[in-house]
Homo-oligomer: A and B are copies of this chain.
């Protein structure tokens, strides 16, 4: 029996958000897929994955928000194309970290949830077995949820759901298979191309996780 409470899902088009979306679609009768185009390297390719995943789930409530402020703000190799990708760390955090990106995304999703009367926000953040981005830790989501509830209408009562935050990458894949998530439509590669490179840090992480899970990655890779 699905919940009649509406849910907003942050869906980038990557594996983690796709599996998170699968869970939301199973649990809620009305879901809204929210996507950000923020002038990141893979903007077009991610949007393609987002649209294909929404089509797979027959989700018509698609919201695509465009903004160049994360690029203007800078501080990340994902949005500053003059920087080398995945080559350095500050405070142990990779250069692909976009300052407080998930905080911004949760804030905007909260505004949207309040506007459409949704009580749930799903985000595919991963802490265990992950890159160490501070805006992926469980304590952050707990604190952020409290802030969101204090900063919105008393009737809004928004809950932030992070279904895979404590899973390992290989466990996430197994969960995706179990939920019948369309992993063949997801995009993880740092390149904005048709076929994944198989060589960047993100592709390597993905391939390693599939190997550990004992499952064959359904997407093609460049030879």
In whole Å, how far is A147's beta carbon from the nearest beta carbon of chain B?
A: 4
Please state the number of chain copies in the assembly: 2
In whole Å, how far is A213's beta carbon from the nearest beta carbon of chain B?
A: 29
A interface secondary structure, majority: helix
Check: A219 CB closer than 8 A to any chain B CB. no
In whole Å, how far is A116's beta carbon from the nearest beta carbon of chain B?
A: 8
CA distance A140 to B137 in the complex (A): 20
- Taken residue by residue from 25 to 53, chain A's Cβ proximity to chain B (1 for < 8 Å, 0 otherwise) reads as 00000000000000000000000000000
Check: A108 CB closer than 8 A to any chain B CB. yes
Q: Which residues A130-155 have CB closer than 8 A to chain B?
A: 134-135, 137, 139-140, 143-144, 146-148, 150-155
User: Which of B93, B99, B139, B151 meets A135, CB within 8 Å?
Assistant: B151
Contact B150 A139 (CB under 8 A): yes
Contact residue range for chain A? 35 or more
Contact A140 B150 (CB under 8 A): yes
Chain B contacts for A143, CB-based, 8 A: 143, 146-147, 150-151
Give 13 A-B contacts (CB < 8 Å), ordered by A residue: A69-B108, A75-B111, A90-B153, A91-B153, A91-B155, A97-B153, A99-B112, A100-B152, A103-B147, A134-B153, A140-B147, A140-B150, A144-B150
